[in-house]
Each structure stands twice: as C-alpha cells, then as structure tokens.
Structure 1
Amino acid sequence: MKRSGKFLTTAILTASLLVPGMAASANGEGTASQTNGNEKFRVLIDANSKKEKDTLKGRYGVRWDFAEEGFTTEMNENQFKALQKNKNLTVEKVPEYTIEETSSKPEAAFSTMAAAQSTPWGIKAIYNNSTLTTTSGGAGINIAVLDTGVNTAHPDLANNVEQCKDFTTVSSIVNGSCVDRQGHGTHVAGSALANGGSTGTGVYGVAPASDLWAYKVLGDNGSGASDDIAYAIRHVADQATALNTKVVINMSLGSSVESSLITNAVNYAYSKGVLIIAAAGNSGPYEGSIGYPGALQNAVAVAALENVIQNGSHRVADFSSRGYRRTAGDFVIQKGDVEISAPGAAVYSTWYNGGYATISGTSMASPHAAGLAAKVWAANPTASHTAIRGELQRRAKLYDIRSGSGAGVGDDYASGFGFARVQ
C-alpha cells in the first residue's frame, strides 16, 4: 500500500466518568460540568421532528451529526434540564472514556534504545520464539489506533503512517494532525506495528509491515467523550469501504458505562468488514468487570498476560478485567466475555518523546492481538474479518492459559479462549 511519507499501563478503569461531574471539553481536557449551571458538557440530542432538530442544531451548534441517532453538542446544566422537560426530545449526557492503563506515568522511560529490548518479551511470546530478533508481516492491512494520538515522527513508526487525524478539537476531522502529548497512543502503536527503525535497532511490533491509521480520539489527559470515539469508528468503516481496504481497529480505552453511540458505531464498523480489537479493562480480578467497548459482542476483548510461567502457561495479570463464571466453558462470545489473551504487563514500546517506555495494562495486550490479526489477515487476504476472528480464537485454544485468578482449562472467564500466537 502506498505510504504517505514520514510523518492503548496500569490506570484503573473508571466507574463511569473520569471524575464525578467531569466531561470532555472541545479540546479533550476535563471541565467541571456540575459545579454550577454555566459550565458546559457534551450531550446527545434527538427530536421527533426534523424541524425541531434543525432548530436545536441552530441554537446550540453541532459537534457531530449521527443522523437517526441525533447530534451532539455542548450546553450547561440549566439548558440540559430545560430540554429534558420537552417530551418530544431525547436528551442524554455523553459518557467519557479513558485509556486502559494502570498508572498515569510509565514504569520506566528510556531516551535511547536498549538492544535487548528490540523484541520485547511480549513480542517473543506471541511469536513463540525466545531468540527472535525481528518480526514480519501485515502488508496491505491497516491498523487504526484510536487513542491519545501517535508520534508519527518516531523512527520506529514513521514509515508506517498512512493516516493521521484528530477528532478532539473542532466539529470536523483535522487531517494531518494526531499529536500525542500523553504517550499512550504511541506506545500502543509500537506494540502493534513498530518496524525497528531505519537501522533495525529500534523496537519491533507484531506486524511491522502494516499501515498505521493514527486517530486521536482522547485528549492529553487520556480521556475523551464517547461521541468523538464513535464518530472515529464510523469514519474508519467508511474509509475501509471507500478505499476498499482491510482494517483492524485497536481501542485501548474504555468505561464501565455503555455508550449507545459507541455500541452502534462498533456494530456499523463490524457490518462493513472491520475487525475491532479492544482492551478488556483493568478492573480485575473481579468478575463481570469487562469494560466497554470490549464487552460488546462485535469487539474482541483482550486480557493481559504477565511474563510469568505458572502451571505450564503464562499468567493472567490480577489487574486484567474478568468476564462471568456463568458463561465460561462454552467457547461462545457473549456480552461481557473476555475473548483472548495477550502480553500486557511490563511491556516495552515506543514513546511520545521519540524514546521508549515500559507500561502495563490491557491497553498493552490489545495491540498485540491487533497486530496478530493484521499479520494473519495479510497472509490470508481473501478471508473475511469474521474468519480472521475465528482464526484468532482457534490459535488461542492451542495455548490454554491455566494460571491467574479465574483461569482454568478451556474457555475461562479470565483468559477467554487462551493466548493467540503467531505459531
């Protein structure tokens, strides 16, 4: 595929919003929405008549237009309460989503490369090769990283960048801008497709020949409104259709609150042949703690593994969210199930300052799985996204995870089908 040139850690999953009474402002930064009646926050509005909807659009402005679902805008608490009294309207606050990391700062950051880290433990593990020095595969497949942005000038990522877009600043997509000032998105992209850089001494991801679609949907504080995310998901699907190309979405973000906008966007993208991979969440080891969008049936929820072998397999990290005991053992994906597992603890990858960092979280597990999906898809270019998903499940069954709280033989509620690998 033609290049355009060089151009998801251990924060616990929030209960609903980043902080009670907080919402994302137009620039992605948190603003107090309930401290008084004048502070603005994001809402979704739908009306019974087109005329009334158009009137409201003119009055409040439009952030994103979701057609039949309504449109999003910003308003204060007093305006919100007034509209709620109108029985001809559906008005609801837009929930906020955050990065799936386990701490706000990396466990370790490095400005220069440590040679032994060129193929981090997770890459060696997913390739099932302890002496691996380089990776390969993914050509012709796009990996859309919906995150805090990506440092597209990073030497290990620059040659992979095909799209760079920002969904967080204004009521339109900003092309050529996806600046990452937080680090999370750059780290996620590296695990999926870093290519080692021009000298081959940088970090390698799972599928280094893949193309990167870097979509900034979260602000510099690592959180963002669900309408920005939903619009980006739909845009990925429309781009996949328009360009007649195969795309894997990675979302290392989440919330315990389900957003109808994101659910409908995921279903839309899946119907268009896009494969969606998402972090399971970091609210483990508690049962029923898979976050959204990972909990959705049309998204592959990925649990995090540690670099620890116990009972003959890698161990599921305690922080990794769990599914439900009642649905374990059936090898059928239902809402709230973890599907597969991948390396997610102490993962070394690219960082927003051009260097490298070690982070833990299901945020780190998800891009390993996304990279694997791209690698498998590139080797089977005529396969559908559902066939690739089935292949990930098949491979996961070959490496059963039997270590960690809730893990056991077969399809368990901690690791899902198991650890999907290259071979």
Structure 2
Amino acid sequence: MTHPSRTRRRLLGLATTVALASAVALGSTAGTTAEASPASDPPSTPVDTAPADGTLMSYVVNLKEGQVNDSQLKRAERVVTKAGGVVVQSWPQIGVIVAHSTKAAFVDNLPKGTNSPIKSAGQTRTTAVAEGTPGTDSEDKSPSRSRKASVERTDTTGHEQATKVKADPREGEQWGNKAIKANRAHKISGGSSDVVVGVVDSGVDGLHPDLVSNFRSDKSVSCQNAGVPERKNWGPTTSSHGTHVAGTIGAARNGEGIVGIAPNTAIAAVKVVNDGGFIYPEYAVCGMMWSAMQGIDVTNNSYYVDPWAFWCSDQANQAPGMEAVRRAMSYATYKGVAHVAASGNSTYDLANKTTDTTSPNDSKAVSRQLNKDCLDLPTEVPGTVSVSSVSDDKAGITKSGFSNYGKGKITVAAPGANILSTLPNGQYGSSSGTSMASPHVAGVLALLKATHPKASPERLIGLLKSQATEMPCDGDTCAGPDNNNGYYGHGLVDALKAVK
C-alpha cells in the first residue's frame, strides 16, 4: 500500500495545507451504494472507490435503529454473511457491524427496503485490509469481541489536594501550563486518580517515569487489529505522539521531568493508530466503545479519521463511516464520556469549506469540492470540544499560524506551539500542533471532573466554556454568537477556575 503518512503528519502536529483548487468530478461510486443525506448545494464531488473483486476490504454496516437485541443482531449478521461478508466485530449498543469481504458487490448484495435490518453500509478504506481478518488469516483469537458491554461505568469520587507544590525540574519550560494557570491550580488540586483520561492515539509508554504512577493498564486497549479490541499491544510502536499527549495531560508531579495539567489524573492508552499511521473508522469506533464500557471520563482525540480529511454525508461511500463514528461518540457521551479533539493544522476555515486535495490519503488523493455537510472527524462531531491552538510570541498569546479555525466551529483554545512533554523510553521533547493544544483542554476537563465528580459531560463542557478567558479578535472571522469567535471559541481555557 502506498503510504503518504498524511495521518502521521497530523498526529505529530505538522501543518498540512488543504489547497484551494478546482474540483474534479470522478463519476459514480459503484460498489459502495448506501443511504446518504440529501445533496447539499453545491453537492460535494463523488469519488469512485469501488474495489476490484478479490480485494479484502473493510466495511461498516449500520443497522436501522440504535441498540439491537440478540435476535436482531444475529439476523443482521446472517444478512452480512449471505452477502459475502465476514463479521469482524459487532457493536449492538449502537447498531454497527464491522465486516470484511473480498466481494466487490458486497454492499450491493445487502438487502434494502423496509424489511431489511440494514440502514447503510460503506467502505472504511480505499485500500486492502493490511492486517487481514481477525480469527481467519491472523493469529488473533481475542475473546473481547463480546456482544454486550461487560463493564459499566461507576461514579468517580475523591479530590486529591496538592497544597504543597514543588516544581519539577523542567516545569519552567512549560509555557502552556503557566498560560492557562495550571501552575496556580496545582496549589489547590492536582485532580483525582478516580478520574480517567483515555488517550485515543498511537499508544502510550506507561513505563515512562513521569507516567508510570498514573498509568492504568487495566483500562488500556489496542483497536488497530481491524477494530477488534485487544487487551494488549497498546504501547507505542511507530509513533511517539500518544506518549507526548499523555504527558501534557497527566505527567505526575514527582520531582522528575515535567508536570501535566492534571498530575493526579489516571491515564489509559486507547490505541487507534496502526503502524502505517492510519486511523480508520472501525478503529475510532472501537476506541469510543471501549471508553464507554470502561468508565473513562474524558477522551483526547488528536487526530482525524482516515482516509478522508473531510467526510461528506451526501456521498454514499462516506456517509456510513461518518454515521458509525457519530453513533459511537454519542453512545460514549451517554455513558458519561466527554470528548476533546484537535481542530487540525491546515489553517483551514472549517465554517467555509471549499476544496480538499489530500483525500483519500491511503491510496491516490484527488481534488474534490466540499460543502457544509463535509465534516472533519472527530472534531466536528456534535458535542465534541473542538480545540484551536495558540502560540506565545512577541505579539502575545495569539492563534497559531497552522491552526484551523471557523465561526461556530471552535469551542475553546489552548497552547499548542513548542510544547514540552514526555516521549517513549524516558525521553522528553517539544512538538507543535492542535494535537498539543487538545490535551491541555483534556487536562482541564479532568480537573473539572475531580471538582464536580457527578457532573455529566454536557455540564463539564458548559463549565469549561463559561470559565474560559475571552480572547480579543478583530474581523468577520472572529465575530460569532454567544461569545464564540472563529479563532478562539469561548476563549483560552482556565485550569485555576476548574479547581475552585
């Protein structure tokens, strides 16, 4: 498979520009028919991703309504098998099945109409499944492909105090902590170990000296094997990104290295990035469902879902994957999980989308026209805290040049340039990107959860927005309703207010 490393560049926080160009129509989407939203004005450009017969492809199959019972699920699984598919993972809580098939006509073979249990189905990638099908041509025999959630969340309690604060050796290099008043917040509280933040990313080095005391291996998972949760392999392999994110959130105040925004908070690795650097919908769905089942309180999502920089709901081969991710995130929110996501590093106005020349990024990218119904996942999923990045330079704290923006699209802002944090094997390093801004916000949400242990995700996000420091911004891009401007949203997050 060709590997343009688009996703890894996003993970590492490097700016990747979405160029403005004329869209090129590529014809039909044969072999990927499914229910899609009514066409927008103008419609987005269709991209033909139909596979060749015999190519092992991955699909999401969305059932008609919400949670399904065992008999409904078994019926739907039989339909998938009859159409030429193999059921890889079923999520009855949200009515989503992950399936593999070598049949080019798999989606077309699925029954349609009022008597069919299927609402929509579509490819999750535009290239063959590199990892194979679990349980058939791979070694995986994971028992965790359960039909129902076996672990339900419990209320968090406790609020660990941190009134005596001694600086860690490199804390003075963490300008972001100071900018959002985390250093002052720690004199009141460092959060609670009862609060768990899921680092939905490329894996976490749980043995790092600054992370080992807060790491929860019992709540960690890998989803990179076709979207099947595995209680192993959650450590970093080809990317240090997740470990860097984890340190910003919860590096312990232990006299070593750095300190996180919420240094008493528990950290879980939810690995959704494969060794090629890609995060496909089935991986993201697995990560969200795992977080919901394991009682994780906050997820940090510093990535976008591949292979589309923007998923368009009026395209039949993109809408099903978009819907599956939305269902999983909505279910996790229902189970008590608050989601934070990086807004992206392309200096792109998310409120006024034009074209995309970078997708699909796992095969051959094309130039395509976008519309308002094309969304960057997960940052534009409703209910998600979308974070822009700020930098500290001669002009003061202002939006980072690489950060995406958009009226009504950004929730809050946080430091994301030259952020020092943990790296695998006991190392430290600096990186820039909205990937680095997002974990600052996840850390503040963890502090809020410790202060308000029974608060719902909606309540926590409401507090986050109301406590943010409004940032001055001139021009049409900055104007927005409810103190929400296009660069900073409701403002720069405030860790000190979160612990009061």
What's the TM-score bracket when you normalise by the shorter of the two chains?
0.7 to 0.9
Cα separation, 2, equivalents of 1:385 and 1:302: 16
Deviation at 1:70, TM superposition (A): 3.8
1:304 aligns with 2:389: yes
Contact 1:303-1:338 within 8 A present in 2 as well: yes
Q: Give the equivalent residue in structure 1 for 2:402.
A: 319
Which residue number in structure 2 is paired with residue 156 of structure 1?
Answer: 210
What is the alpha-carbon distance in structure 1 between the residues aligned to residue 260 and residue 467 of structure 2?
A: 19
Task: Give, in whole Å, the separation in 2 of the partners of 1:120 and 1:343.
Answer: 10
CA distances 1:348-370 after superposition (whole Å, capped 9, x unpaired): 11112331121111111111000
Contact 2:261 2:443 in 1 (8 A): yes
The answer as to 2:98 corresponding to 1:72 is: yes
SS at match of 2:462: helix
The question of whether the paired residues in 2 share the 8 Å contact of 1:138 and 1:371 is answered with no
- How far apart, CA to CA, are the structure 1 residues paired with 2:291 and 2:76? 30
2:262 paired residue number: 207
Q: Deviations over 1:13-51 (max 9, x none)?
A: 889xxxx9xxxxxxxxxxxx8785443231123578854
List alignment gaps of at least 5 residues for structure 1.
Answer: 1-7, 21-32, 97-113, 241-245, 328-336
Match of 2:489 in 1: 416
Opposite residue 98 of structure 2, the aligned amino acid is T
Specify the SS of the correspondent of 1:12: coil
Deviations 1:218-246 (A, max 9, x none): 11233121112112212211222xxxxx6
- Counterpart amino acid of 2:473? R
| TM-score normalised over the length of structure 1 | 0.76
**Which residue matches 1:286?**
349
Q: How far does the alpha carbon of each residue in 1:364-406 deviate from its partner, in whole angstroms, 9 at most, with x for none?
A: 111100000101221222333222111110111x342438994
Q: Which moved more, 1:383-392 or 1:164-173?
A: 164-173
Contact 1:192 1:371 in 2 (8 A): yes
Q: Number of aligned pairs?
A: 361
- The one-letter amino acid of 2:397's match is H
Deviation at 1:145, TM superposition (A): 0.8
Residue 424 of structure 2: aligned partner? 352
Is 1:191 the counterpart of 2:248 in the alignment? yes
**Distance in 1, Cα, partners of 2:475 & 2:288:** 33
In structure 2, how many angstroms separate the alpha carbons of the residues matched to 1:250 and 1:340?
14
Secondary structure of 2:225's aligned partner: strand
1:29 aligned residue: none
Distance across 2 between alignment mates of 1:55 and 1:133:
59
- Tell me how far 1:137 sits from its aligned partner: 2.3
The equivalent of 1:385 in structure 2 is: 457
Which structure 2 residues correspond to residues 77-156 of structure 1 after superposition, within 5 A? 79-88=103-112, 90-94=120-124, 115-116=169-170, 120-127=174-181, 136-156=190-210
Specify the code of the residue in structure 2 equivalent to 1:364. Answer: M
1:167-182 equivalences in 2 (<5 Å): 167-169=223-225, 172-181=228-237, 182=239
CA contact (8 A) 2:229 2:286 kept: no
Q: What TM-score results when the alignment is normalised by the length of structure 2?
A: 0.65
| Cα deviations by residue, 1:263-322 (Å, 9 ceiling, x for unpaired) | 111111111221111111122243426722111221110111112363xx5211122111
Three-state SS of the structure 2 residue aligned to 1:140 is: coil
Structure number, greater radius of gyration: 2
Structure 2 partner of 1:43: 59
Report if aligned partners of 1:134, 1:204 keep a CA contact under 8 Å in 2: no
Q: Please, which moves more after superposition, 203-212 or 347-356?
A: 347-356
1:263 corresponds in structure 2 to: 326
Gaps of 5+ in 2: 1-10, 20-25, 27-48, 65-71, 113-117, 127-167, 313-321, 354-374
CA distance in 1, matches of 2:474, 2:260: 25
Secondary structure in structure 1 of the residue aligned to 2:233:
coil
Corresponding residue of 1:100:
none
C-alpha separation between the residues in 1 aligned to 2:470 and 2:189? 20
Letter in 2 for 1:61: V
Q: Is the 8 A contact 2:18 2:348 kept in 1?
A: no
CA 1:193/1:14 → structure 2, altered by over 3 Å: closer, same or farther? farther
* Contact 1:405–1:414 under 8 Å retained in 2: no
Give the alignment partner of residue 250 of structure 1, picking from 288, 300, 303: 300
For residues 175 and 14 of structure 1, the distance between their equivalents in structure 2, rounded to whole angstroms, comes to 37
Change (3 A) 1:82 1:128: closer
Are 2:55 and 2:104, in contact at CA under 8 Å, matched by a contact in 1? no
Distance in 1 of aligned mates of 2:185 and 2:266 = 26
Cα 1:236–1:392 shift into 2, 3 Å: same
Q: Could you say which residue in structure 1 is the equivalent of 2:292?
A: 237
Instruction: Identify which of 219, 226, 240 aligns with 2:281.
Output: 226
1:402 and 2:473 matched:
yes
The 1:388–1:377 alpha-carbon spacing in structure 2 relative to 1, beyond 3 Å, is: same
Q: Distance in 1 between matches of 2:172 and 2:125?
A: 38
